[in-house]
Structure formats: C-alpha cells, structure tokens
Amino acid sequence: MALKDKYDVVIIGSGPGGLAAAISAKKYGAEDVLIIERDVELGGILLQCIHNGFGVEIFKEDLPGPSYAQRFINEAMLLKVEALLDTMVLDITPQRRIFASSKINGFVDIQARAIVLAMGCRERTRAQVRLPGTRPAGVYTAGTAQRWVNVEGYMPGKRFVILGSGDIGMIMARRLTFEGAKVERVLEVMPYLTGLTRNYVQCLLDYDIPLQLQHTVKRILGHQRVEAIEAVRVNEKWEPIPGTEEIIPCDTLLLSVGLIPENELSKKAGVQLDALTGGPVVDNNFETSVPGIFAAGNVVHVYDLVDWVTEAGLAAGKSAARFALAERRREIRHIPLLAGHNVRYVVPHELDKQTLMEEEVRLQFRVKQPVEEPVWVEVHSENNLITRKSERYVRPGEMVTIVLTPRHYEEVERATSLTVSIVER
Amino acid sequence: MPETYDVIVIGGGAVGCMVARFLSRYRLSILLIEKEADIGMGASSANSAIIHAGYDPLPGTLKAKMNVAANLMWDTLAGELNIPFERRGDYVVAIGPKELPKLELLLEQGRRNGVPGMHIISAEEMRHREPNINPDVSGALWAPTGGICDPFAISIAAAENAVQNGVRILLETAFEDFIMDGKRIVGIKTNRGDFGCRWAVNAAGLYADVVMHKAGVRPEFKITPRRGEYCILDRAEITVNNVLFPVPSDISKGILVTATLHGNTIVGPNAQDIEDKEDRAVTYDGLGELWDGAHKLVPSLSPRHVIAVFAGLRASGNAPCETPGVDYNHDFIIEIPREVQGLVNLGGIESPGLTSAPAIALRVIELLKEAGEKLEEKPDWQPIRPPRPRFRDLPHEEQKRLIALDPRYGRIVCRCEMVTEGEIVAEIHAPIPARTYDAIKRRTWLGTGRCLGSFDMPRVVDILAQELGVSPLAITKKGPGSEFLVRPTKQVEG
Amino acid sequence: METTEKMICITCPKGCTLEVTHDGQTVLKVEGSGCKRGKDYVERELKDPRRMVASTVRVRGGTHPLLPVYTSAPFPKPRIQELLAELRKIEIKAPVKMGEVVLADALGEGIDILASRDMPRMTG
C-alpha cells in the first residue's frame, strides 16, 4: 500500500470504535480513510476477549469478541479502508498533522483533514490502588493475563487471587478455571458487585469461585514470585479492619480494578479533557475542543457494552467525513499566495477564488532587496502571467500593492497557487 | 589453582562499580562479583536520585569529605559515562517561623564542609521559584551545586565502562568466605567456585558487615537496613520542578519532594530500621507517613496521582567518625584494616553514598598506593562510555534517520515512556547484557510510566525470549524464581 | 425430596435473587421473582442447565498459536469440563475462516464448535 501524504479521515486505533468510525466515514463520502493501529492486526482488545456476550444490541446475536471484531474488519476491508498496522502514533498537532513510527512502515508523517481518536482505555494498575508489599513477578492486570492466556498461549500462574469484581476480572476467573488453574478468591473493596450479575452467576457461581465483598489486598508477599497475599476486610472508608487479615497462598494476583480512557495523544493535540471521565469533552457530533478532531468509544468514557462503542464510532465517523469534505471544498477554493523572486512574503497568505467573482483582492507584500530602477511586479499561476504592473523602484521599507480584479477570475480559477515576484525590466 | 586476579571487587552497586571503573585505568586484572542477576540492584536501585551538595553531613566526617569532593566530579563523570545528570540545585525549605533559624545552622555547616554558592532566600523568592510550595514557607536554603541523576544508569554505565577497559563481571555470584594464608587474603569462595586475588574490595553494601566479619575485621560493626519508601507521581497530573528538602531531623534528611529527570515528581523517603536485609516491602502505614511529609512541602500533591510505589534499603552502619572531637556514629568506613592483609574495606555507605561513589573510588586508589601498590596507568584506557540512542529524546528528523538505519527503532514497545524494540535489543546485547525484565526497565525506563508495564510486559517477554533464544517460559522479572509464565495454555498437568 | 435454595435469575440484567423450592426437577415454589420469566429460568436451570462456552484450540502455522472458538448453541453445563478436555486435544491448521466448524457434533450433543475469527497463515 502506498501511503498518501494527506487523508480525509485518519482514525487512531482499530477497536470497535475505530472500525465503526472508519466504516461510517467511508459511507458518508470520505474517500481516503486510514486506520493507524499499534498492534499487528485490526480489532483491538476485542481479539483477546474470546468470551461470548457481544453484539446483543446491534446484531441481536450473542457473539464472542473476535467474531464481533471480524464482522467490522471484513466490512472495512470491503469498503477499502486503508490500515497502517504495527504503527504507533507519536504525536498529533492541533493542525491535524500526525507523526507515527513503525518497524515495518518507518517514520510516518501525514496530514489529516479530520481525525477520530479511538485509542480506547487502559487498565488501572497496582499503584493506583496503592497496594503495599513487595514487588515480585506474578502481579498482572487482568488484561495482560488475558492476552497471555488467550492470544499468546501461556498461563501466567497456577493459583490466582483476583482483586476487583469487574467484568474482566470475573471473566478471567472462569477462563483460568477452564484452562486448569485454580482461582482461590475474588476480592471486591466495594460492598456490591461492580460487574454484571450475569457474569457473577456464569463465571463465579458456576465454578464455585468464592467472592468476598468489602475486602481488599493488604499486602503482597514473596520476593521473586508472589507467594501469598494478605486479604483484609475494609470499612466504609476502605480502611482495613484490624484482626480480619487472612493470608491466602497463591502465585498470581490479577488486578481488575477499573479502566481509564487513554488520552496521552489527545493531550498532545491540545484537546480539552473532562477530569471526571478522563476523556475529551465532546459535542453531539463527537467533536472535541479542537476543530476537526473527533473522539469515540472508551477513549471518551468507559462503556459497559461494546455495542454502544460501535454506535459512538459510527456517529463520530460520519461527523469526521462531513468535516473532511468541507475541508476538501475549502482547499479546492483556497489557493496559496507564494512569495517569488525578491519577495519576502505576501498577505493574504491564501486566496478564496470565489471572492474574485464579485470583488477585487488587494495583495500586499515587501521585497527582500532594494531595486533603484523600474521593475515589473508580476502575479503568475503555475503556467501563465495573470497580471503585472510597473514600479519606479522597490525598497524593503515600503510596502508594495498589486490588485487582482474579477476580470482575472477565469485564469485564477484554473490555478492551484499564485506567485508574486519582482522582475527587472 | 583457581583463576587469580589482582583485585576482586565484592558487590556491584554504585560503589563497587565506580571502584572497578576507576581501577580499570591501571594495569590490573580485576574481577567484580555480584550476587544478583544484574548490577545495581541493592541500595543503588532505590533512592532519591540526588547528587547532594554536601551541607548535610557533620563537618569532619568522611561523609562530608567524600560528598563535597565527589560533587565536583559529577559534571566530568556524567559526561564521560553518558549518564543523565542535571545540576539543578536544591532547597531546604523552612515552613513556619520556628524552622527558619535551622537554615542558618545548615548554611554554616555547609560552609565549613566547603560547599560553594549557598545562601538563604526569602519566602517570597521561594514561592516564585516553586509555585507549588506550601504558602506558609518562611525561607529556604539554596544550594546551587545539588543535582539530580538517573540512579540506575550510574552503576550500569560505570560497570560497562569497566568492562570496556578489561574488567570481568560475574553476576549471580555470591561471596561466601575469604581464602586466607595466615593473615593474608589470597582469594574468595563463592557459590560459583573459588577465585584467587591479591586484593579484595568489600563493596557489599547491606552485607558489608558480614563480609568484613569473615575477615575478622571490626566485629562490633553492624549494618542496620533502614527502609525508605517512595511514591512516584504521574507527570501528566502534577510537576514539581525543583529538589525540595524539609528541614532535617536528627536521624534523616526527611521526606522530600523532588523532580526527576523524566519529569515525574517523587515523594520520599521515610526511615524505618528493620532486620531483614531483603525486605523491600512497602507498608500501608509507611505510605501514610509519606503523604504527611509531602503535604508539608507541597500541599497540592495527591495520592491519586501516584503511579508507582517502591522501597529501598539504606546500608546504615555504626562506625564512629575517626576525626578527633567529632561525635558521630554513622560514618563511612574507607580503610585498609591492620588486622588482615589484602582487604580494602568499605562499609556503612548510606546516603550520600551514591553521590560519594566516585570520590570513594579515588580514595581506594590512594589507599592502595599508600599500601605500596605500584599502580601503572594503561595508555589505552578509555574513559568514555559510548551512548546508545534514546528514541524519546530525539527530534522527529533524527528519529526518522534512526528508523531508516535500523527499523527496530520504529517499533514502540512501551507507549508511556516511548521505548523502542531497537533500544531493548541493544540493551540485551550490551557489555552488561540485560537478561531480565527489570534489567531492561532500569536501563530504558520502560514500564515505569502510568500503565506500569501492563502494555509492554508480554511484548518484552517475547523480545527477550527471541533474542536470548529461549522459551518465553524461561524469561524472568529479576532472576531465577521470578518467571512470568508457568506453562503453555493448553498443557494442563495431571 | 423437597429442598429450598437460592438462585439468581440471569434472564435480564436485573438479576433477581429467587428462593426456589423444588423436588428434584419439579419446581414447587418460586419467590422473589420480579416477573414471570423467573419461573421459566428456574425450570430450565433445574432440568437442563446450559451455557455458551468459549475457549481456544491450538492452531499450526497461523499468525497466533491459539484460535478462539465457541459453541454454536448453549452447551449442557455438566459436560463443560469434558468439552474443554476435548478441545485441548485439537490442533488445526491455518488458514481458518470465521464460522468454520472446528469440531462437529461435540460430544454427540449436536452442537458444533466454531472458529470465532479468521486465522491467516503466518507469512515470512
């Protein structure tokens, strides 16, 4: 695939939000649509969520995560959405220039007419719940363990304790049990389940995995590898209640303690974030505070169902396509005014060609070098001289003006840029 | 007949590595042994990352002499070894009127130690220089020669430079005993066999007491591990740009709030005497103590901004200061003891040990010369350790060039700290090969960002397995026993 | 023999806790149900409890070592462990297309095991 310099819509991330945005951008008329994905294939985290329960709202079917992703991947490919895989975006400017880096695609520098941020979310870690104790191997987020077990084909432990009763935690409890591991306990600091009841029944009750509410990990034990954790009951303020400690031998502690929108890139692009959601502030078109930069899915706020992420992606893709098309029309109408021989700069920098149909446009500039004899001031398109006038001399201290009038419209209409220069007679 | 060296350095922390590096200038055969899977894993790996100005130690102590002498060396040393180092200066901040007089005392102490350029600044000036400071600030002591560094890079860079200059380093090699010929040390016993030597340098850090006792030296000397806990804050949430100390207590410099070279703010340490020399556990109460200390200096810091917690152990000794009239019982030991021949004995190297390490190394050389060792300089000694590319620090144009040269620099493996596959592979094949996840982490700062490695971990395990030509099951976090994975998913036992 | 036990209905997200009195598979009384679907759920759970099962099988020559798979219909709950043991024995060859039958009529239950995604052949 030959990479273009400029795209109508560039989508960062190919999870459900990004795929939906790409598909919808194409459907609403964007021609060049590119997805940039950091992993080696499209689909995002859905590919490691091999359990069922996806698509009930959109497809009225109960699909596993990879199938849900595959349907959208297939549609995006059919629509000729382009993709840069194994590529990490380094930087986005508010002017929508994107810098990315890749082992296979090299250093990437492209301009987007519109951008959809669809980076999803990341997992909270041990530090964010401030778990005291040692720092041995065997403390992983549920998502990292999920990738190892389901995609890379390795078990990260034999005896597990899971902290957090979120859906990923409970689903991993069942998954690990399926693959022959023992899940000793699921601990939840809140006095209630934080995931879906359905998952409590199907993932924990079905396999006799004990859940303890209002419990947390007080400390991690073990130097090289986790040897045990100390569980403790907590009060309403999440403070450990002395005397309720229990040592649970295990070799792995999985953390399923919440998700946070992933917005490092949004910040670089100057997008305003909401401290509460952790994601960009968006309007009903999913446009952020930076014009032309849209955001959809878990990057905005963490959803409970993937179906809603898809819907947000569809809406954001449509808005991005509209923005990009307007941008294209503007680009066709607007042409740059360039400084030619002995000209330092020209104001205005761009010319809206439509204007010339009705009124004249005054071009003003300064020269670089004084010329103390008569010269031509000329305006050229790529091929033709459009107008010229004579000056008795030009000096850097004195501004020079030349006027384009409606009678130049026809010539200018065909031009893609105009150059102003000083020509000696 | 065992392998024999002129010098064996016992311990690969900052001090041992600096001694090996400075000694590598001379025609000597040198072996450095380290019990862990990597160098710099003890006290050198978990500290405040500060190059101290030298106003804190009591005048007349070895700590004061070494600190002030070493501070001057750091610009050249950091340049030669390509260690990240910035002389930002530091502040001792007085809060409320009662603490203000203590600044004068510290200033006087600093002047007696020979610390240049110190003066006291007003509360207003302090508020101007650090807008996050507690508004109740009453004044501050400014020491322009204080600096911040990359603490991991110090041991690693010094060790690499030593290897470049012919020093041999053996990891996972633990000292067990000395081999004596009467009163003379002729070798050491380790878990990997015996090695002969003319000189042994005790740079065993937390275990320096155990090592010197094996030689019958200073039986009364005892190292008490003093645990210090730390929190690292998310640079996206809050940034403190300066090194801020509270007014010190009798036993410790107190809980400081300091900038790091990576832009993260760090809070700590507290001080807790413990027995176990390996107990680097962070405690529930300790973290509470940190926040009380942090809020005294910068009230706007919040535990919500924490991205990592860790604890380090200071090798706190009980050696009396040998300068007459100085009443101090926690001084460094830097000596060639009379009881035995062939031992250079270093002990009680706690803070400011990291700062002092190069001066301690020079002092070791002096001691050897005084003992009659004819140290002959090697004409081909190479003091420069070549730098390796750091993708995140490069402008886009240079990133582009680097990727064109080696595409592996194009694959970002750690998204928070922007560490590439190219950098990881380079560390795996460096003069001191990084063979564990933590070894790569200390060299590249991968996995130290807000996601704590949850993104990079499976990828790094993969790269390590591929480069080392082993199964991912063999890859460890920090040496044998800390494997990440236990079996293939589909191979259920029984 | 008549027994009373607690069950959680998972028909809808509300998740009512039901107090169920039954004699073997015969439901005698259901209390705590928010709607009439609770009773149906209890009867199903007592007579023939079933679950959708998702797991993986080994795949050779693919872009990943494992292929995610799932049951074409809810599978009898008491035989899930048996099914998982069966799946551990399977190794298929890439390429695979989404929906392809990896194991037909699993354990004679009339339910197929399907590929959850495409698995292209590893290139290079």
The count of structural domains within chain A is 3
The predicted structure's pLDDT at residue B85: 96
Domain-located, residue A1: no
CB contact under 8 A, B486 and A251: yes
The predicted structure's pLDDT at residue A238: 87
Domain-located, residue A326: yes
Write the CA distances from B242 to A319, A353, C109, integer angstroms.
45, 54, 69
CB contact under 8 A, B489 and A267: no
CB contact under 8 A, C10 and A47: no
The predicted structure's pLDDT at residue C25: 86
**Nearest residue of C to residue A70 by CA position?**
C117
CB contact under 8 A, A224 and B482: yes
Domain containing A294: what range?
A: 6-122+260-331
Per-window interface: A 6-45 vs B, CB < 8 A: 38
Residues of C whose CB is below 8 A from B490: 56-58, 66, 88
Give the per-residue SS3 of chain B.
Answer: CCEEEEEEEECCCHHHHHHHHHHCCECCCEEEECCCCCCCCCHHHCCCCEECCCCCCCCCCHHHHHHHHHHHHHHHHHHHHCCCEECCCEEEEEECHHHHHHHHHHHHHHHHHCCCCCEEECHHHHHHHCCCCCCCEEEEEEECCCEEECHHHHHHHHHHHHHHCCCEEECCCCEEEEEEECCEEEEEEECCEEEEEEEEEECCHHHHHHHHHHCCCCCCCCCEEEEEEEEEECCCCCCCCCEEEECCCCCCCCCEEEECCCCCEEEECCCEECCCCCCCCECHHHHHHHHHHHHHHCCCCCHHHEEEEEEEEEEECCECCCCCCCCCCCECEEECCCCCECEEEEECCCCCHHHHHHHHHHHHHHHHHHCCCCCCECCCCCCCCCCCCCHHHCCHHHHHHHHHHCHHHHCEEECCCCEEHHHHHHHHCCCCCCCCHHHHHHHHCCCCCCCCCCCCHHHHHHHHHHHHCCCHHHCECCCCCCECCCEECCCCCC
Task: Count other Cβ atoms within 10 Å, centred on residue B438.
Answer: 22
Distance CA B50, CA B356 (A): 11
- The residue among B131, B62, B23, B145 whose CA lies nearest residue B348 is B62
Q: Where along chain C do its domains lie?
A: 2-47, 54-115
Q: A154 and A199 share a domain?
A: yes
Tell me what the mean pLDDT of segment A192-208 comes to: 92
Interface of B with C (CB under 8 A): 489-490, 492
Of B281, B455, B489, the CB nearest to A219: B281
Does residue A87 contact residue A108 with C-beta atoms inside 8 Å? yes
C54-115 shares the fold of C2-47: no
Write out pLDDT tens, residues C61-120.
Answer: 999 999 999 999 999 999 999 999 999 999 999 999 999 999 999 999 999 999 999 999
- The residue among A139, A137, A146 whose CA lies nearest residue A179 is A146
> Looking at A217, A239, A257, which one is the last position of a domain?
A257
Per-window interface: A 162-191 vs B, CB < 8 A: 179-180
SS3 A406: helix
CB contact under 8 A, A198 and C10: yes
Instruction: Report the neighbours of C using a cutoff of 3 or more CB pairs below 8 angstroms.
Output: A, B
Q: What secondary structure letter does DSSP report for A203?
A: I
CB contact under 8 A, A153 and C66: yes
Distance CA A64, CA B46 (A): 44
Of C66, C77, C84, the CB nearest to A151: C66
Write the CA distances from B438 to A1, B32, B153, B308, B467, integer angstroms.
38, 21, 13, 14, 16
Does residue A163 contact residue A129 with C-beta atoms inside 8 Å? yes
CB contact under 8 A, B492 and C66: no
Q: What φ, ψ does residue B335 adopt, rounded to 5°?
A: -155, 160
Of A107, A132, A264, the CB nearest to B399: A107
* Residue B214 C-beta-side C-alpha neighbours within 13 Å: 21
Q: A114 and A17 share a domain?
A: yes
Of A43, A51, A206, the CB nearest to C54: A51
Size of interface A-B (CB pairs under 8 A): 154
Residues of B noted as catalytic: 52
Q: What is the dihedral of CA B124, B130, B135, B137, to 10 degrees?
A: -70
Pick left, alpha or beta for residue A284 (phi over 0 → left; psi -120 to 50 → alpha; otherwise beta): alpha
The predicted structure's pLDDT at residue B328: 95
Nearest chain C Cα distance for residue A363, angstroms: 58
Residues of C whose CB is below 8 A from A178: 55, 84
The predicted structure's pLDDT at residue C124: 63
A344: CATH: 2.60.40
Class of domain B90-144+226-312: alpha beta
> Tokens at residue C28, please?
């005698």
Of A107, A158, A221, the CB nearest to B410: A107
Per-window interface: C 4-63 vs A, CB < 8 A: 8, 10, 13-15, 51-52, 54-56, 58, 63
Nearest chain A Cα distance for residue B404, angstroms: 7
The predicted structure's pLDDT at residue B453: 82
A84: CATH: 3.50.50.60
To probe the interface with B, which of C81, C86, C88 has the most B CB atoms within 10 Å? Answer: C88
Along the 494 residues of chain B, how does pLDDT read in single tens digits? 689 999 999 999 999 999 999 999 999 999 999 999 999 998 888 888 999 999 999 999 999 999 999 999 999 999 999 999 999 999 999 999 999 999 999 999 999 999 999 999 999 999 999 999 999 999 999 999 999 999 999 999 999 999 999 999 999 999 999 999 999 999 999 999 999 999 999 999 999 999 999 999 999 999 999 999 999 888 877 889 899 999 987 667 789 999 989 888 999 999 999 999 888 888 888 888 898 899 999 999 988 888 888 899 999 999 999 999 999 999 999 999 999 999 999 999 999 999 999 999 999 999 999 999 999 999 999 999 999 999 999 999 999 999 999 999 999 999 888 999 999 999 999 999 999 999 999 999 998 887 778 889 999 999 999 999 999 999 999 999 999 999 999 998 65
Q: Any idea which architecture B3-44+152-223+318-370 has in CATH?
A: 3-Layer(bba) Sandwich (3.50)
Give the per-residue SS3 of A241-305.
Answer: CCCCCEEEECCEEEECCCEEECCHHHHHCCCCECCCCCCECCCCCCECCCCCEEECHHHCCCCCC
Q: A150 and A251 share a domain?
A: yes
Q: Where along chain B do its domains lie?
A: 3-44+152-223+318-370, 90-144+226-312, 391-474
Does residue B217 contact residue B183 with C-beta atoms inside 8 Å? no
Q: Any idea which architecture C54-115 has in CATH?
A: Roll (3.10)
Does residue A149 contact residue B298 with C-beta atoms inside 8 Å? no
Does residue C119 contact residue C95 with C-beta atoms inside 8 Å? yes
Q: A129 and A251 share a domain?
A: yes
Class of domain B391-474: mainly alpha
CB contact under 8 A, B400 and A267: no
Class of domain C2-47: mainly beta
Q: What is the dihedral of CA A19, A23, A25, A28, to 10 degrees?
A: -160
Distance CA B51, CA B56 (A): 12
> Tokens at residue B235, please?
């640079």
Residues of C whose CB is below 8 A from A47: 117
**Nearest residue of C to residue B492 by CA position?**
C88
Q: A278 and A208 share a domain?
A: no
